[in-house]
Structure 1
Amino acid sequence: MSSGTTQVSKTSIPIPNDFKNVKVLRVLDARTNVVQEDIGIRAKNIADHPISEYYYTVPAAIDDHVASVSAFLRQDAKSSLTVEKASFDSEREVQLYKVIFDQPLHPDDDIRLGIHISYTHVLKPLPTKIPQVARQLLVYSGNVFLYSPYPTDEMKTTLQVPTAQIISFTGGDGIVQQKGNKLVYGPFNNIESNAFQELKCHFESTGPLITVTDLERDLQVSHWGNNLAVEEHYTVRNDGAELDDNFNRVRYMMSSQVHSATNMLKELSFEFPAGASNAYFRDEIGNVSTSHFRNERGRSVLEIKPRYPIFGGWNYNWYHGYNVDLRSFLRYQKSSGEYILNVNLVDNAKNMIVDHARVRIVLPEGVTDVQVHAPMDLDSIEHTKHFTNFDSTGRYQINLDKKNVVYAHQKPIQVSWGNGG
């Protein structure tokens, strides 16, 4: 009788040896909760035929933390390039990404590429627990080299952290130097494909690691009132080092002068569109008076203070909202009789990780031919109905869903429809 175990065959994805990286310059920015990687590549077509695709690979364990990947030509006028998430190589356990050129690259020609990647949840507190009034230390682990399927003639990697208080670092085989808050690895020469050497840095980082575990955005369009009503529900967690003992209110009050050097979250600031009005801020208990709203030239600002300081591992949830003139976001095309709404998928995502964002857009009753156009991949788009007391057939509602959202996703979603009510 069979033991019941099933052997799963692993697949190796062949990548043509069409390129050589002539020079690679990498900059890893770990100054905020979202780590950014900027890669400048000069690659040469070493094949005997034109090439239209350049492959970039990410180890599976790291790919789970990749929130966004973009590419562009590093010419005088930068132009965006298409990036596709290609096959998964289960034998080597790497995810393949494919950069597609607008024009084929001829043999022996060079191309200058830029690749930008945002990573979430890659910074970890070490130690994981600290006293209430103490400086936080984080650790970052990565690769000294570009994990590339192509060999590289010359490479340099720079890691940037918040301060010059770097406790320790590894990697580089001695070819590394600290310059203030930067570690410069290399230059290295004649690097083989798929090269890996662990880069680890232990450094001081004041301030919280803000993760929005759940974000719900409700946007309601009113032609009749020429209004866009926005309400956002936040659940926030501080992913920084936790307290090693119970919270002490007296110690908190007596140490106010050094709070900025710790990882506690005491206040938040949100930018709203210019001319926003009727702003409000409430949590589970009710209206929070420790908030300030003001209109400035070109923007509106809501500053809020939670009812208690949010230490590492602590959570807080609330919702806020405002109204704004619909004309700033909606245009009408007379020729086609079509309305086009432009609203961001998320707002205020800078230096935050949004684990899960749900966006609901409610359109006027009676709209037809609703189309959604997004500049990023969404996990789901659902078309449904929204009923209020005075609706007969219900208003058209679009539900957008996306996980692992960062500032790179703070881009306009375009919704179009006809016969607006």
Structure 2
Amino acid sequence: MLSKNIVGIALLIATNFSHYVKAVNIDFFNHLIEINENRMLIDRNNLLVTDLGDTEIFKFKLQYEYKSFANDIIVIDNYAKNDESKRENSILQYAYDAATNSIDIDIKGIESTQLDLDIIIQLSHTLLNNSNQVAQSLSEDVQFMYFPINKLPLTNYHIDKFESTLMNLVPGSNRKLKFSDGEETFIKLKEDGEYILKTAVTDLNANFDEMPEAINVYFEFSTALLTVKKIIRNVYLSHWSNTIHFDEHYIIQNEAPKLAKTFKRKEYMTYQSLNQGGTGLALSQLDVLLPIGSFDHYYKDDLGMITTMKTAHHPRTNFDTLALKPRYPILGSWNYIFNIGWFNKLEQFSHFLESSRHTENQEFLLELPVVDGANNLIYQDVTVNVVLPEGVKIKSIYAPDLNMLPGNDRKPKIEFNKFENLFDYSEDKSTEIKITYSDVSINSNLLRLENSDNKIFIKYEVNNFKVYYEKVLRLAVWIFVGLVSIYLLGIINDNLQK
């Protein structure tokens, strides 16, 4: 009897699992990896799925390890996206399954027995590897990076047809790709850097537990690879002077191959003259984008003040440019440590809320980019410190999650401190908001995309007396006390001399 029950339970489990796994069929799987100018890999997967039945979860196996290499994942239901009445529900929720390194996509709200899915994965630059760790001379300014790719997808569903495409969008690489020695899986289709599988794969059975064969894909680069190991962005608001002060501390590393021998400036100048001023893998100038209307700029490195900077104002755009020239070219594996700062009008970032016009305390909304920065920088550790004036009451804070992966441990951390100003002996000290992004991989180009979620919003309430008058009166009292003290000391000194 017991054995019959066990057999019955086993058959029931097997039947349910078979329904969960085998009932679903992928009619078409189109895989595309873009290698772009942002030092990012964008992994796009378009799947036409049928025979869903009453399946509530669609399991998608990830090609790369989730926590190490995935920066962002978005799942789009294309049927809902193209239907105006369902468009707001076109982004599907999912949960990560660590045991299988896959995402379980929630499809229980979908009435159709078919799916047209786009699964877009932004991969970290840490997936890329230099083919050479050392350059023998400055003339070796063309190097190769590579990343692994599986020839076939891992799936627990049957796939009728699978196609794969690679797109090389890296500037200056002539759109060429190279593959592991003797590898002929991909062929070049066009002159714009598109490579496809030589032959499409058909009738692919479930292979979820099998590790498919991998190949290395190589592409060339000839510029510095700049990674911001740490940036501390300090922002000081002053309603009294109507200014906002930005102060930024950078530690940047050039992750290009290091030079095998000692650097000599004479050799570097010779190399530049032979290459029409080109700098190759070295960094000789960094152009930092600043908010439009910036003024009172400064630039220092770890040795002190530097004068080799140039500012440019662009009245028709929303940014200025600060061109920084380090004391020496930054070669592969070298660090570049510096500090820059500037001022803007406060009204450019802090907006008065009309709803508080007739109230005792006025309300403002601070709209602040997480970072501005240069092009093609990868940020790994970002700290934003916002110092608000004395007497300000914080109403709400929004800090964007620059890694939108559900349940990850890289969400921004928000802390509050009291900021000590000179002559600040009141109980209502300035409030400092510290927002930290740790262990991230954020590209500066992606942060500046239109409508991207890259801004911090702080709603705060201002007490007019405390912000505009109290500190001035306090300073005046201190000055008056000082002058009276000097006068009294002078009288005492005269009396003692008599």
- TM-score, length basis structure 1: 0.84
| Alignment partner, residue 431 of structure 2 | 396
1:65–1:114 Cα change, 3 Å: closer
Measured in 1, the distance between the counterparts of 2:54 and 2:392 equals 52
1:142–1:338 Cα change, 3 Å: farther
| Alignment partner, residue 190 of structure 1 | 203
| Alignment partner, residue 235 of structure 2 | 219
Contact 1:238 1:310 in 2 (8 A): yes
Question: Once the two structures are superposed, what CA deviation does each residue of 1:190-211 show, in whole Å capped at 9, x if it has no partner?
Answer: 3445463313123321101111
Measured in 2, the distance between the counterparts of 1:286 and 1:224 equals 30
2:222 aligned to 206, 221, 246, which one? 206
Which is further off, 168-177 or 399-408?
168-177
Q: State whether structure 2 residue 304 is matched by structure 1 residue 291.
A: no
Measured in 2, the distance between the counterparts of 1:335 and 1:50 equals 49
Q: State whether structure 2 residue 152 is matched by structure 1 residue 152.
A: no
Q: Residue type of the partner of 1:58?
A: L
* 1:52-131 alignment, distance < 5 Å: 54-58=58-62, 61=65, 63-74=67-78, 75-76=81-82, 81=91, 86-89=96-99, 92=100, 94=101, 96-99=102-105, 104-130=109-135, 131=137
1:262–1:173 Cα change, 3 Å: closer
* 1:397-416 alignment, distance < 5 Å: 397-402=432-437, 403-407=439-443, 408-409=446-447, 411-416=454-459
State the Cα distance separating 1:293 from its structure 2 match: 0.4
Q: State whether structure 2 residue 178 is matched by structure 1 residue 168.
A: yes
Contact 2:29 2:47 in 1 (8 A): yes
1:280–1:38 Cα change, 3 Å: same
The SS at the match of 1:364 is: coil
Measured in 2, the distance between the counterparts of 1:82 and 1:385 equals 42
Contact 2:63 2:150 in 1 (8 A): no
Contact 1:27 1:160 in 2 (8 A): no
Measured in 2, the distance between the counterparts of 1:20 and 1:290 equals 62
Max Rg structure = 2
State the Cα distance separating 1:83 from its structure 2 match: 5.2
1:46 aligned to 37, 46, 51, which one? 51
| Alignment partner, residue 9 of structure 2 | none
Question: Once the two structures are superposed, what CA deviation does each residue of 1:363-394 show, in whole Å capped at 9, x if it has no partner?
Answer: 22222244222331524111222111143232
Measured in 2, the distance between the counterparts of 1:238 and 1:147 equals 35
Contact 1:33 1:123 in 2 (8 A): no
Q: Residue type of the partner of 1:326?
A: L
1:210–1:110 Cα change, 3 Å: same
Q: State whether structure 2 residue 387 is matched by structure 1 residue 362.
A: yes
Contact 1:144 1:157 in 2 (8 A): no
Contact 2:26 2:50 in 1 (8 A): no
The SS at the match of 1:255 is: helix
| Alignment partner, residue 417 of structure 1 | 460
Contact 1:227 1:325 in 2 (8 A): yes
Measured in 2, the distance between the counterparts of 1:143 and 1:349 equals 34
The SS at the match of 2:126 is: coil
| Alignment partner, residue 314 of structure 1 | 334
| Alignment partner, residue 350 of structure 2 | 330
The SS at the match of 2:305 is: coil
1:132 aligned to 138, 142, 155, which one? 138
Measured in 2, the distance between the counterparts of 1:117 and 1:50 equals 27
Contact 2:43 2:123 in 1 (8 A): no
The SS at the match of 1:254 is: helix
Contact 1:81 1:99 in 2 (8 A): no
State the Cα distance separating 1:140 from its structure 2 match: 2.0
The SS at the match of 1:250 is: helix
The SS at the match of 1:335 is: helix
1:61–1:118 Cα change, 3 Å: closer
1:86–1:340 Cα change, 3 Å: farther
Structure number with higher helix proportion = 2
Measured in 2, the distance between the counterparts of 1:97 and 1:390 equals 55
Q: State whether structure 2 residue 336 is matched by structure 1 residue 304.
A: no
The SS at the match of 1:121 is: helix
| Alignment partner, residue 415 of structure 2 | 382
1:384–1:169 Cα change, 3 Å: same
| Alignment partner, residue 471 of structure 2 | none
The SS at the match of 1:341 is: strand
Measured in 1, the distance between the counterparts of 2:61 and 2:374 equals 27
Measured in 2, the distance between the counterparts of 1:316 and 1:99 equals 43
| Alignment partner, residue 232 of structure 1 | 248
Measured in 2, the distance between the counterparts of 1:39 and 1:172 equals 26
| Alignment partner, residue 14 of structure 2 | none
Contact 1:57 1:147 in 2 (8 A): yes
Which is further off, 269-278 or 15-24?
15-24
Contact 1:123 1:140 in 2 (8 A): yes
| Alignment partner, residue 483 of structure 2 | none
Contact 1:69 1:83 in 2 (8 A): no
- TM-score, length basis structure 2: 0.72
* 1:333-348 alignment, distance < 5 Å: 333-335=353-355, 338-348=363-373
The SS at the match of 1:63 is: helix
Percent identity, aligned pairs only? 20
Measured in 1, the distance between the counterparts of 2:157 and 2:281 equals 41
Measured in 2, the distance between the counterparts of 1:281 and 1:54 equals 53
Measured in 1, the distance between the counterparts of 2:159 and 2:376 equals 33
Measured in 1, the distance between the counterparts of 2:64 and 2:42 equals 17
| Alignment partner, residue 9 of structure 1 | none
Contact 1:209 1:240 in 2 (8 A): yes
- Stretches of structure 2 lacking an aligned partner (at least 5 in a row): 1-16, 357-361, 404-410, 449-453, 468-498
Structure 1 moving runs of 4+ over 6 Å? 77-80
Structure number with higher strand proportion = 1
